[in-house]
Chain A
Amino acid sequence: MQITGAKMVIESLKAEGVKTLFGYPGGAIMNVYDEIYKQQDIQHILSRHEQASVHSAEGYAKITGEVGVAIVTSGPGFTNAITGLANALTDSTPMVVISGQVPMTLIGTDAFQEIDAVGISRACTKHNYLVTDAKDLPKVFKEAFHIARSGRPGPVHIDIPKDVTAQLENFEYPNFIDIPTYNPVSKADIKDIQLAVDAIKESKRPLLYLGGGVINSNSSGLVRQIAEMTGIPAVETLMARGVMGAENPLLISMLGMHGSYAANIAMSETDLIISFGARFDDRVTGKLSEFGKNAKVIHIDIDPSSIDKLVEVDFAILGDLNFVLSDMQPLLADIQPEQFSEWRETIAGNEKLHPLSYEKLDEVLKPQQVIEKIGEMLGDNANISTDVGQHQMWSAQFYPFSRARQFNTSGGLGTMGYGFPSAIGVKVGNPDRVSINITGDGSILMNIQELMTAVQYKIPVINVILNNNYLGMVRQWQTLFYDNRISETDLSTQPDFVKVAESFGGIGYKVSTMEEFEKALKDAVEKNIVTIIDVTVYRDENVMPMVPAGASLYNMMLK
């Protein structure tokens, strides 16, 4: 039986097991929305801006580990989605984004809502397709989902002209797909693994450097086992928070620009960096020529282009981290944790010397206090999303993350406005846990319209605004590096966030003491409705430690 291209889109999504779509309709995608209307298997969540649709799909993908799917119309619908695609590409999130396009007959004529969508998305997707014949749709969808979730995951964009969604063709969804030019690695060469293991055995001060690849490959359990059996301490990147668990004595903390003193010093003193799915980002390494100067480097990565890109590697292992660690673990069995006890003591000394800390004030809340309080009250029971800026770094530093995927943040691209919509996706993907978005008074306004989505679909995200009336991180740089010239970062002109929340049908609290905050958070969790808690915090707090841009990792400002 022949079906339309639009129906093929739905059938393909069903075949891929998609249960939730985030999107926004418009002219060129209407045939597909007509098919969405006619079916019950896939829930469509109407965001209030296409950027939010893609971020929600990414939050969903990050919490579930499945491919997140968003759908938008042509032209501005698609250009709004671009930030979301770019964000997913930098953070290696498996996504499929479908866009409508003007009919084939109008392509190239500057038609209404026409834009060269695949031309734009080429730079911010893992791969993309312009489908010119409905016959190709099943194969394209099969390929798109395969590419999105395999290898180093990433977003795939499918652009479908309106007449293709109307075209009638036979539909048969392929069971297997073979893309001869695309062969992501899985198992690594055992000889490479053995060489790395030998290096670990010979090292005196080895350090596990954990990145987002640990989470993407579902290897958090294996990593914990390896750390515990060998006694090798670990540092986490922003993207790996939660892998080791805050309680784990082998976890030092986050490293990098706002990493802990002990973590950054450990990275500077180690004689063997053991990188599990991390990519030596500039926010992690500081000055490259000084990074890991005394160390050999083992780099395990699924993406060949990550290896030797920034740091020259002594032992490169190309493979899926989960396979590599499964092969590696038995080879490490004869390492005695005592072997590294002196090294661990040195680290413990540094942790004691300069722990992550802040000074409390009597008259006003410190932002870090609020994050610690959320951790104390909700701990493992909450999934934490953030926007971008100071609150993001404080969340990474002070929330007691206990598991992989608990923390959802825009790491690589640093997208303000990511937090709220992605926290919606997190809640949809994991409804049993509280979904908190820790945000700032700058970021929250960049996708505040999602209050409407959250109210309509009863998605009770709790937004905690650490409100310092500043675009805080930029203000911090202005204070430290621009002689305190506060250029366009004073955000004292603000809405009444309580009324904003209420006008959409959510609830709002404005608090300035810890008692008020506790009460508001408890209340919000019980009421189970989308919430804004607007917390007045100390204005001039800086995120510390800080490695100034371009400085070596061990040259930290501590206060």
Chain B
Amino acid sequence: MNQERHIISVIVQNESSALSRISGLFAGRGYNIESLTVAPIPNENLSRLTIETFGNRKTIDQIEKQLNKLIPVSKVVESDDFVEKEMVLVKVPVSQSLSDVSALCQIYNGTILNISDSSIIGMVADEPQRVKFFIQAIQKFHPIEIVRGGVVALER
């Protein structure tokens, strides 16, 4: 069966060990985590995790069921109809052309965040597939560091 990319969104009660329960489940059962983001949901005692993973249909179904078995997990959403975004920060040497870097960032919904005497920091926020293209394109500016934020997603 095909190893496809899937986004799983998990709503979980805020408790100190919730994240380790979930990451432990993935590690223990041999499921892979491509990226993972966590943050509290405003005004609720809940957090949302967005997990990007690869697997065939059967594996994804099993992941979903195993997640639901964890006591603090409130809801698991797995859908192919998510709006997805990922943010990336990139640091390039100040010797690179500021206007070129800035133009590239703008194409990918971004901007320049900071310029110091040694580096330029740019930011983009775009769909995961486009983020990949951005990371390819930025290579020619000899990036010093690239920080990916992981995918966040909301079902339509």
Q: Which chain A residues have a beta carbon within 8 Å of chain B's beta carbons?
A: 118-119, 122-123, 126-127, 130, 147, 179-182, 303-305, 307-309
Contacts of B20 in A (CB 8 A): 119, 122
Q: With contacts A305-B62, A305-B65 known, what are 11 further pairs, Cβ within 8 A?
A: A118-B17, A122-B20, A126-B71, A127-B71, A130-B17, A180-B74, A181-B71, A182-B71, A303-B69, A305-B66, A308-B62
Assess whether B21 is interfacial by the CB under 8 Å rule.
Answer: yes
Contacts of B12 in A (CB 8 A): 181
The residue of chain B having its C-beta at the shortest distance from the C-beta of A181 within the complex is B74
B76 to A: closest C-beta gap in Å: 11
Q: How far is the CA of A312 from the CA of B61 in the complex (A)?
A: 12
The residue of chain A having its C-beta at the shortest distance from the C-beta of B24 within the complex is A122
8 A Cβ contacts from B32-49 to A: none
Assess whether B73 is interfacial by the CB under 8 Å rule.
Answer: yes
B129 to A: closest C-beta gap in Å: 31
Q: How far is the CA of A23 from the CA of B83 in the complex (A)?
A: 53
Contacts of A122 in B (CB 8 A): 17, 20-21, 24
Contacts of B106 in A (CB 8 A): none
Assess whether B50 is interfacial by the CB under 8 Å rule.
Answer: no
- In the A-B complex, the 7 residue pairs with the smallest Cβ-Cβ separation, listed nearest first, are A305-B65, A181-B74, A127-B71, A304-B65, A182-B71, A305-B66, A122-B24
Q: How far is the CA of A86 from the CA of B8 in the complex (A)?
A: 28
Q: How far is the CA of A130 from the CA of B16 in the complex (A)?
A: 10
The residue of chain A having its C-beta at the shortest distance from the C-beta of B13 within the complex is A181
Q: A123 near B28 (CB under 8 angstroms)? A: yes
Contacts of B13 in A (CB 8 A): 181
Contacts of A181 in B (CB 8 A): 12-13, 71-74
> Which interface residue of B65, B69, B73 has the most chain A CB atoms within 10 A?
B69
- The 0/1 profile, CB within 8 Å of A marked 1, for residues 8-36 of chain B is 00001100010011001000100000000
Contacts of B62 in A (CB 8 A): 305, 308-309
Q: How far is the CA of A167 from the CA of B71 in the complex (A)?
A: 27
Contacts of B66 in A (CB 8 A): 305
- The 0/1 profile, CB within 8 Å of A marked 1, for residues 52-69 of chain B is 000000100110011011
Q: B71 near A179 (CB under 8 angstroms)? A: yes
Contacts of B72 in A (CB 8 A): 181
Q: How far is the CA of A126 from the CA of B68 in the complex (A)?
A: 12
Q: B17 near A308 (CB under 8 angstroms)? A: no
B29 to A: closest C-beta gap in Å: 10
> Which interface residue of A130, A181, A304, A308 has the most chain B CB atoms within 10 A?
A181
Contacts of B21 in A (CB 8 A): 122
Q: B61 near A308 (CB under 8 angstroms)? A: yes
Q: How far is the CA of A28 from the CA of B58 in the complex (A)?
A: 45
The residue of chain A having its C-beta at the shortest distance from the C-beta of B72 within the complex is A181
What are 15 of the A-B contact pairs (CB < 8 Å)? A118-B17, A119-B20, A122-B20, A122-B24, A123-B28, A179-B71, A181-B13, A181-B73, A182-B71, A304-B68, A304-B69, A305-B66, A305-B68, A309-B62, A309-B65
A226 to B: closest C-beta gap in Å: 28
Q: How far is the CA of A126 from the CA of B74 in the complex (A)?
A: 16
Q: How far is the CA of A126 from the CA of B66 in the complex (A)?
A: 11
Q: How far is the CA of A180 from the CA of B71 in the complex (A)?
A: 9
A537 to B: closest C-beta gap in Å: 39
Contacts of B69 in A (CB 8 A): 303-305
A350 to B: closest C-beta gap in Å: 33
Contacts of B61 in A (CB 8 A): 308
B64 to A: closest C-beta gap in Å: 9
The residue of chain B having its C-beta at the shortest distance from the C-beta of A127 within the complex is B71
Q: How far is the CA of A180 from the CA of B73 in the complex (A)?
A: 10
Q: A123 near B24 (CB under 8 angstroms)? A: yes
Contacts of A127 in B (CB 8 A): 71
Contacts of B71 in A (CB 8 A): 126-127, 147, 179, 181-182
Q: How far is the CA of A279 from the CA of B132 in the complex (A)?
A: 42
B20 to A: closest C-beta gap in Å: 7
The residue of chain A having its C-beta at the shortest distance from the C-beta of B11 within the complex is A181
A143 to B: closest C-beta gap in Å: 8
Contacts of B28 in A (CB 8 A): 123
Contacts of B24 in A (CB 8 A): 122-123
Q: A308 near B58 (CB under 8 angstroms)? A: yes
B100 to A: closest C-beta gap in Å: 48
